[in-house]
């Protein structure tokens, strides 16, 4: 349960700023490896009781009326600590002391490694303010938001090494004036993946955890439960089959991205591929840190994620839609007007030139000018396409920030 200070007996927490456990009562600090809860040897074999067992409710009744959780007793104040089926560290709702469920981390899937928090709560909030403070379309209320909750959570990951073998056929489409050229390109090779992190908690969106990357695995240390003090954490709840499928999908996406980069110019599409992925049996189980900051705006819950090691901010923010769409329409109108104006004057210049020059030289001039106009139009279209992609990406990030799955993952934690 709680790990207590050797000097004063109060609960210890892990302080990312000094990379040590610290007593907030007397200020003593210790390395995580130097301390161990006196209660651990007595409670590590203790069975967690379900709410049905504690309150005598049958499974059918509990499913309708009660939260699915487990009951532990806080060693500091004696209060009941309720956790869900995958949590291994939390805080006592009564006294606020950090609690580690020793029976779960020692008898079930104990992590081999951990990357300790290096970013403090204050640093995480400052990183968010810096990220969103200068957005033109971000509402003022969002730029100055007050967090509803800030949780430091260790997310379980499986760290794998794998080899991707694949043979791919790519179709490249290029256009020149009215003509379209299609060519086919073959690629075959092996991609070696080292330290590929895969979220091992089904309660959290895979896209959310992926956007938190990269982590610096050179800073990974052997697991010690005292790194969890003051933070929340979960155990893995994915099967090996689910892990294998995730590695297959992730490695295929990475291989395809590299293959498409190898064919320059035109529009490229993978039309056929055959491949497989071999996972190194030495799979590592680790806990990686992240801050979850939630706030409400116009009745909608938003969750911003911050990498607990690097400070990388992952979020999509509500925007002032009226201003955004007004400027978007004005920009499109200006762009189209400029293209039409330039095109008209080029065309007029071509006609004037053709009346004063010989047919042969005029024809050459017309062709060159026509290519310039087509190039300008193509460039304008490409700018519009790029803008549309950017807008889609913005709204995709916003959907992730407002994801009910991410919010529910966070709100289950006790304050």
What is the rounded average pLDDT for all residues in the chain? 75
Task: Give all strands (DSSP E) within 45-107, no chain letters.
Answer: 49-50, 70-73, 80-83, 87-91, 98-100
The answer to whether the beta carbons of residues 287 and 309 sit under 8 Å apart is no
Distance CA 253, CA 262 (A): 15
Residues 241-295: pLDDT tens digits? 888 899 999 999 999 999 998 888 888 899 998 988 999 988 899 999 999 988 8
Distance CA 137, CA 319 (A): 5
| Closest alpha carbon to 29 in 48, 12, 47 | 12
| Closest alpha carbon to 114 in 38, 242, 250, 215 | 215
Domain ranges of the chain: 12-108, 112-415
| Closest alpha carbon to 43 in 7, 11, 79, 3 | 3
Q: Which two tokens stand for residue 390?
A: 């950017």
Residues 124-138: pLDDT tens digits? 999 988 887 766 667
Q: Which two tokens stand for residue 394?
A: 């913005």
Q: Within 10 Å of residue 84's Cβ, how many Cβ atoms? A: 14
How is residue 281 annotated by DSSP? S
| Three-state secondary-structure class, residue 158 | strand
Q: Tell me: pLDDT of 352 over 70.
A: no
**129 or 358: which leads in pLDDT:** 129
The answer to whether the beta carbons of residues 198 and 291 sit under 8 Å apart is no
DSSP string, 11-38: BEEEETTTTEEEETTT--EE-GGG---T
Residues 23-61: pLDDT tens digits? 888 988 988 877 776 555 544 555 544 445 544 544 444
Q: Which two tokens stand for residue 166?
A: 């694949």
pTM greater than the 0.85 cutoff: no
């Amino acid at each position: 349960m709680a790990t207590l200070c050797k000097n004063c007996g109060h609960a210890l927490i892990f302080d990312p700023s000094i990379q040590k456990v610290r007593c907030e009562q007397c200020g003593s600090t210790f390395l995580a490896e130097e301390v161990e809860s006196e209660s651990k040897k007595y409670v590590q074999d203790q069975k967690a009781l379900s709410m049905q067992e504690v309150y005598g409710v049958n499974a059918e009744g509990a499913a309708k009326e009660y939260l699915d959780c487990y009951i532990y007793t806080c060693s500091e104040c004696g209060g009941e600590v309720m956790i869900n089926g995958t949590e291994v560290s939390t805080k006592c709702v009564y006294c606020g002391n950090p609690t580690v469920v020793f029976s779960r981390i020692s008898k079930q899937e104990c992590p081999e490694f951990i990357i300790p928090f290096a970013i403090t709560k204050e640093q995480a909030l400052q990183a968010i303010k810096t990220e969103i403070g200068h957005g033109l379309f971000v509402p003022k209320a969002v730029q100055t938001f007050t967090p509803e909750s800030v949780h430091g959570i260790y997310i379980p990951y499986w760290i794998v090494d794998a080899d991707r073998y694949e043979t791919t056929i790519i179709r490249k489409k290029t256009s020149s004036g009215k003509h379209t050229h299609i060519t086919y390109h073959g690629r075959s090779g092996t991609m070696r993946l080292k330290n590929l992190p895969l979220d091992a908690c089904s309660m959290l969106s895979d896209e959310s955890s992926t956007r938190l990357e990269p982590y610096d695995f050179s800073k990974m240390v052997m697991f010690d439960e005292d790194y969890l003090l003051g933070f929340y954490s979960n155990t893995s709840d994915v099967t090996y089959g689910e892990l294998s499928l995730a590695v297959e999908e992730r490695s295929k996406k990475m291989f395809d991205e590299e293959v498409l980069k190898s064919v320059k110019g035109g529009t490229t599409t993978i039309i056929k591929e055959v491949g497989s992925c071999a996972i190194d049996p030495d799979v590592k189980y680790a806990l990686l840190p992240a801050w979850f900051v939630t706030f409400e705006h116009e009745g909608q819950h938003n969750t911003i994620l911050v990498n607990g090691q690097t400070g990388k901010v992952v979020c999509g923010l509500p925007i002032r839609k009226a201003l955004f769409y007004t400027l978007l329409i004005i920009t499109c109108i200006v762009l189209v007007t400029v293209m039409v104006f330039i095109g008209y004057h080029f065309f007029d210049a071509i006609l004037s030139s053709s009346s004063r020059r010989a047919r042969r030289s005029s024809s050459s001039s017309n062709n060159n000018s026509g290519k310039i106009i087509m190039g300008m139009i193509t460039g304008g279209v490409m700018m519009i396409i790029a803008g549309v992609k950017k807008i889609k990406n913005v709204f995709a990030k916003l959907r992730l920030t407002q994801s009910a799955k991410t919010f529910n993952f966070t709100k289950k934690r006790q304050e």
